[in-house]
Amino acid sequence: MEQEEITGRVIGCAIEVHRQLGPGLLESAYEKCLAFELRENGIQFQRQLPMPVEYKETRLECGYRIDFLIEEKLIVELKSAKQLIGLDEAQLLTYMKLAKVKLGLLMNFNETRLKSGIRRFIL
């Protein structure tokens, strides 16, 4: 799949989750439901993927985890917060750099309309 198709399909799955659940739940609930929707739609993904840090040519496991790596081309970071802050964006951008993935989506499910809580990033 191409970047635009992947992005569109993942956003469609997320919108379906939000339509069914609405805002106000924990991030973990949205994560499990999104995994269900992705699977139902035949989209390959890895969930809670460990993200080591490379420091002076040494890989160090520091406890970082990517919410979703979709089709090896897209990182999706989920939030359920009152509002997104700069640190949320920085986290996604850092994961993208560490994983060498050029495309990312930051999704805040705690919005009345999910589209208002989606931000797309390209490195």
* pTM, full prediction: 0.92
Map out the domains of the chain as residue ranges: 3-122
The Cα 83–Cα 79 span in angstroms is 9
Domain 3-122 class in CATH: alpha beta
Least confident of 57-61, 90-94, 115-119: 57-61
Contacts of 37 (CB under 8 A, 6+ apart): 13, 14, 16, 17
pLDDT in tens, 23-75: 999 999 999 999 999 999 999 999 999 988 888 888 888 888 999 999 999 99
